[in-house]
Each structure stands twice: as structure tokens, then as C-alpha cells.
Amino acid sequence: MSGRTHIKRFRIRRDSVPAARRHVEVLLTEWKLGGLVDVAALVTSELTTNVVQHALGTGEFFELGLRRRGGVLVLEVSDSFRWQMPELRKPQETDAHGRGLLLVDALSAGWGVRPRDVGKTVWVHLPIHRQDLV
């Protein structure tokens, strides 16, 4: 089952966040990767929420990509917004936002951002065997 890939487009709007999360839950269950469902759904929520908050108005759609490569699930979210690349920051205790990438960083084996011709892709590597992360 190594090498599976799936890409789906969603409109950039608030109701796409739970729709993307549900899509990941269903797809990973079909791929027999149920042990990753909770973590992948949380990462999906964080990344797609960032798209809705920051990329709204820069395009109609974002793409959610899932790829199984070796012992890693690669989760990617691509959008048209390139002016401000996401970066890991330590929020102040009083900040209401800004903790999403801290969660992504803590839950993943690695993550990053790469520019595209139009926009960017945020990628996350989730080990298929969660003990690989410890």
C-alpha cells in the first residue's frame, strides 16, 4: 500500500475545515491507517484553519494532499497566499491565537513550507508507526 496518493480541493471558507478533517478521517480509515486518524485530523484542522484565516480572498480553493510514502504519511495543504509564509513562533501567554504550528511541530516528525508558482504548500510528515516519533 506504499505510494498511495490522494488530492482533494476545498473552497476557502470556514465550513471547509471540518469537511477536510472528516475527509482525512474517512480516507485514512479506508487506507487502514486508523492509528493516525486523530493526529492527522488535528493537523488538518490547524493547517486548513490557517488557510481560511490568512488566504481568504487570494483564491477560491485550497488543496489537501495525502500521500503514503514508505513509513510516512505526507499531508500537504496548498493555497494561493504567498506573501507571508508560516513560521513557528512562541506566542505570549495572553495571545488568543498562534499555537497551531506549535501543535503541528509537536505531533509531526517534521514539517515545512515550500513556495509554488502561485502560493505555497505546507507539508507535514506523520510516521505511520507513531512510536517512530518518540
**Residue 118: domain span:** 5-133
- The domain tally of the chain equals 1
**Residue 86 pLDDT:** 64
**Residue 70 pLDDT:** 84
Contact (Cβ atoms closer than 8 angstroms) between residue 108 and residue 124: yes
The enclosing domain of 46 has a CATH number of: 3.30.565.10
**Residue 63 pLDDT:** 96
Of the candidates 66, 79, 58, the residue with the CA atom closest to the CA atom of residue 125 = 66
**Residue 131 pLDDT:** 40
**Residue 72 pLDDT:** 95
**Residue 101 pLDDT:** 79
Helix orientation angle between 16-30 and 37-54, rounded to the nearest 10 degrees: 150
Of the candidates 7, 66, 6, the residue with the CA atom closest to the CA atom of residue 40 = 66
**pLDDT tens digit at each of 134 positions of the chain:** 456 899 999 999 999 999 999 999 999 999 999 999 999 999 999 999 989 988 766 679 999 999 998 899 999 999 988 766 666 567 656 555 555 778 898 889 999 999 988 889 999 999 997 544 43
